[in-house]
């Protein structure tokens, strides 16, 4: 009836948009079960990723990594998009004494995640490398938590520790295999500047090899006996579709 509203009905909440993050700290394992593991590992989990596929949560369940609240600070190396320097061997002492932490969030919500609120002095970026995880296999920079941590450990001289955590995943060994040439170059670098230069040299080499293959293919274009390789055909298809690796490189570094 008019003038007699049903007060038992709860008022509807306004749509507040997408939830930027959830507090998953209470569900995380707090007691580490691998005291023999020499490197402290941690992560801020924003609850945006598939829990079943999240490598950071798996490391937490296995007892290698502890979960942090957003209000908690971390004194070690923090892998996040707000970093100004690239991880290098210079960071070895920090990793040895204070460890490595990652930001576990979704690539699709990276711009909405309050990463700037994370407290720490040693924010770092990772240089160019490709992912080996099943979700983003072969894509530049789109690494999972375990890949990002393993890369940091390797660049700072803790190769055995990197392999230890990667061995908990069936595809873990593939990460080193895909990036073997890159890691060989990065391991020879001492500073962040040298790592960046090694990255640039590698990308320029790849570009030159690509241009060389395209030029070689065009030289034989009028030869009726020339049969292009499958790589040449894929290259031509990608060029016709307007594919570019530059779009991938704009994406920052971690995902679950």
Per-residue pLDDT of 188-214, as tens digits, reads: 999 999 999 999 999 999 998 888 888
pLDDT of residue 170: 94
* DSSP one-letter code for 33: S
pLDDT of residue 241: 46
Give the residue among 87, 243, 240 at the shortest CA–CA distance from 150.
Answer: 87
pLDDT of residue 107: 56
* DSSP one-letter code for 254: B
Order of strands across the sheet that contains 122-125: 65-68, 41-45, 100-104, 77-79, 122-125, 85-86
pLDDT of residue 245: 42
Give the residue among 48, 42, 25, 175 at the shortest CA–CA distance from 107.
Answer: 48
Give yes or no for residue 98 having a pLDDT over 90. yes
Most confidently modeled of 1-5, 49-53, 195-199, 208-212?
Answer: 195-199
Q: Are 136 and 190 in contact (CB under 8 A)?
A: no
Give yes or no for residue 1 having a pLDDT over 60. no
- Cβ-count burial of 135 within 10 angstroms (0-12 exposed, 13-18 middle, 19+ buried)? middle
pLDDT of residue 234: 52
Q: How far apart are the C-alpha atoms of 17 and 212, rounded to whole Å?
A: 49
Please indicate, yes or no, whether the overall pTM of this predicted structure exceeds 0.85: no
Backbone angles phi, psi at 119, to 5 degrees: -100, 125
pLDDT of residue 54: 85
pLDDT of residue 3: 54
CA dihedral (136, 137, 141, 147) in degrees, to 10, reads 100
pLDDT-based confidence at residue 129 (cuts at 50, 70, 90): very high
Q: How far apart are the C-alpha atoms of 232 and 210, rounded to whole Å?
A: 10
- Mean pLDDT score, 163-176: 96
Give yes or no for residue 12 having a pLDDT over 50. no
pLDDT of residue 55: 92
| Average predicted confidence (pLDDT) for the chain | 78
pLDDT of residue 106: 61
Q: Are 128 and 86 in contact (CB under 8 A)?
A: no
Q: How many residues does the chain have?
A: 256
- Cβ-count burial of 81 within 10 angstroms (0-12 exposed, 13-18 middle, 19+ buried)? middle
Give yes or no for residue 31 having a pLDDT over 80. no
Most confidently modeled of 95-104, 221-230, 242-251?
Answer: 95-104
- Mean pLDDT score, 26-49: 75
- Cβ-count burial of 33 within 10 angstroms (0-12 exposed, 13-18 middle, 19+ buried)? exposed
């Amino acid at each position: 009836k008019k003038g007699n509203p049903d007060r038992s009905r709860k008022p509807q909440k306004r749509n507040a948009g997408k939830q930027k993050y959830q507090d998953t700290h209470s569900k995380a394992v707090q007691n580490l079960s691998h005291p023999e593991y020499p490197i402290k590992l941690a992560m801020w989990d924003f609850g945006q990723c598939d829990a079943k596929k999240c490598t950071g949560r798996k490391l937490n369940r296995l007892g290698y990594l502890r979960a942090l609240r957003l209000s908690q600070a971390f004194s070690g190396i923090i892998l996040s998009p707000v970093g100004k320097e690239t991880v290098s061997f210079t960071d070895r002492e920090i990793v040895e004494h204070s460890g490595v932490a990652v930001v576990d969030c979704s690539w699709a919500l990276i711009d909405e995640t309050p990463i700037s609120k994370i407290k720490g002095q040693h924010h770092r970026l990772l240089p160019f490398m490709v992912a080996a995880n099943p979700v983003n296999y072969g894509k530049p920079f789109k690494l999972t938590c375990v890949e990002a941590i393993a890369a940091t450990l390797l660049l700072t001289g803790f190769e055995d520790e990197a392999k230890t955590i990667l061995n908990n995943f069936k595809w873990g060994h593939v990460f080193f295999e895909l990036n073997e040439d890159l890691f060989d170059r990065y391991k020879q670098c001492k500073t962040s500047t040298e790592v960046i230069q090694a990255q640039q040299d590698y990308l320029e080499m790849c570009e030159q090899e690509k241009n060389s293959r395209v030029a070689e293919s065009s030289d034989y274009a009028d030869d009726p006996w020339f049969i292009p390789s499958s790589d040449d055909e894929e290259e031509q298809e990608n060029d016709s579709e307007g594919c570019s690796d530059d779009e991938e490189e704009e994406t920052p570094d971690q995902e679950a």
